[in-house]
Amino acid sequence: MIEDNPSHEKDLSRRRFVAGAATAGAAASLLPVEMCAQVAGSDAVKVGLIGCGGRGSGAVQQNLTANDSARLVAVAEAFEDKIDGTGPRSKKGGILALLEKAGNSSQVDVPKSRQFVGFDAYKGVIDECDVVCIATPPGFRPIHFEYAMQQGKHVFMEKPVCVDAEGFNKVIEAAKIADQKGLKVVVGLQRHYQEVYLQAFEKVHSDGMIGDILGAQAWWNTQRPWIVERQPGWTEMEYQMRNWYHFNWLCGDHIAEQHVHNIDVVNWFVSGDSANGGHPVSAQGMGGRAGTESRSVSEIFDHHYVEFRYGAEQNNAIMNSQCRHIPGTWRQIGEEIHGTEGILHLEAGRITDLKGEVKWQYRRPRTGATNPYQVEHDALYDAIKNDSPLNNAYYGARSSFTSVLGRLATYSGQEVKWDEAVSSNFSILPEEFDFNGVAPVQPGEDGNYETAIPGQWKLPWVS
């Protein structure tokens, strides 16, 4: 099922992109592709990386490992110090030095002329390569994915793939372009490539071991992964970009940035659709901030509890979803799927009957289960080589927007309908991408950011 939304014409291209920093090798970047330095070997697959943070470095290493003929030829970053390794939270020596230490130096050919910096740097990378790894903050992914599809490039894109309705609709429309052009798209929801999940899916949907699915539990209860301290001289836009995990227009709240993994699994198993995924029809819940973290560094909640309801085609199943980032609390990451004849405990790789007796237990292969983070890149190149269908963008978008639906429900304290949220096409991104521009949220005179108050916070399409 592919949504057709009449409001999708509100185009992300209306926003103005400003580099905000000089593009390294700016003169060379203006040359046509055929006049730029070529990688060695005419059969080399040219790979580009957009976003040089920790996940970007991991993704591109796995991408290069998946294909000996792959060559990293271009990188893009909002901040040059993330390329050269001089910025906060940067690895010493930057992304290129990190790849060399990891043993990928023979597959890296990124001169200064192909190191692009600024908000518009993504275009330079996409124009240069055959395969693009998109590992930017989530708010930018619809923009970068759309351009990659327009330019006819295969894509690996990290999750979540959107933070608002406009981004969701953009990804769905771009996914259709991928289908039309035969482009291959993998989204970093790696559980789809993990053996225990694949076997469990067969046990549930082919063998019927838990009967009809009635509901599910999903958890991502851990602690905040990181906070970047504000530095003298940074504009508000630069601070939010560097501390992106803590602002909704960039990350979507942690219910989207991390809990999307568990939400995606439930969508997948409840729908029974491995290619397109599914989504709930409504969400309602509660959340807030426990006060263990200063409001001067973040606007997002530190806990959410959401009741997602699916439609009649999914037996009106209910997902109870928890995510929490509060020190000293119970930690749990995983999913359970509840049926009329049993329960699938995915974190344990086990199916029990309703009395707790084991019906199936996943056994790790003697040779060791393959790393799903690597398998997803292997699958991308296999699909490219064999020209076989592979497009994860549909389920990636639906699961990402399911997490957004949860955020809307907890922030507002209202029941939120999927169709209404999608058709609103609301956007939370800035009108202009410029380090000297106006960030979408601003701290108060006390230096603190406002936090949504359920019952007072209005849904974006409600006046």
What tens digit of pLDDT does each residue of 293-317 get?
999 999 999 999 999 999 999 999 9
Amino acid at 382: D
In this prediction, residue 88 carries a pLDDT of 62
CA dist., res. 31 & res. 392, Å (int): 33
Q: How is the chain split into domains, by residue range?
A: 12-190+375-392, 192-371+400-421
Report whether pLDDT(191) > 50.
yes
At 33 the pLDDT is 31
Average pLDDT of the segment spanning 412-418? 98
Mean pLDDT of 200-217: 98
CATH architecture of 192-371+400-421: 2-Layer Sandwich (3.30)
Question: How far is residue 419's CA from residue 279's CA, in Å, rounded to a whole number?
Answer: 11
Specify the higher pLDDT residue, 96 or 229: 229
pLDDT at 83 over 60: yes
Residue corresponding to tokens 């930057």: 94
Q: How high is the pLDDT of residue 6? A: 38
Phi, psi angles (nearest 5°) of residue 286: -145, 155
Q: Per mean pLDDT, which range of 52-56, 180-184, 266-270, 400-404 is the poorest? A: 52-56
The full 3-state SS of 378-438, as one line of letters, equals HHHHHHHHHCCCCECHHHHHHHHHHHHHHHHHHHHCCCEEHHHHHHHCCCCCCCEECCCCC
Indicate whether 207 pLDDT > 50.
yes
Is the pLDDT score of 368 beyond 70? Answer: no
> What is the C-alpha to C-alpha distance for residues 304 and 317, in angstroms, rounded to an integer?
20
Query: Tokens at residue 54, please?
Result: 């920790």
Q: What is the mean pLDDT of the chain?
A: 90
Q: Give the pLDDT band (50/70/90) at residue 19.
A: very low
What pLDDT shows up at residue 26?
Answer: 37
Predicted local distance difference test score (pLDDT) of residue 391: 98
Report the alpha-carbon distance of residue 206 to residue 208 in Å, rounded.
6
Structure tokens at 428: 């939370």
CATH architecture for segment(s) 12-190+375-392: 3-Layer(aba) Sandwich (3.40)
pLDDT at residue 101, rounded to an integer: 75
Q: What's the pLDDT band for 102 if we cut at 50, 70, 90?
A: confident
Q: What is the pLDDT of residue 92?
A: 62
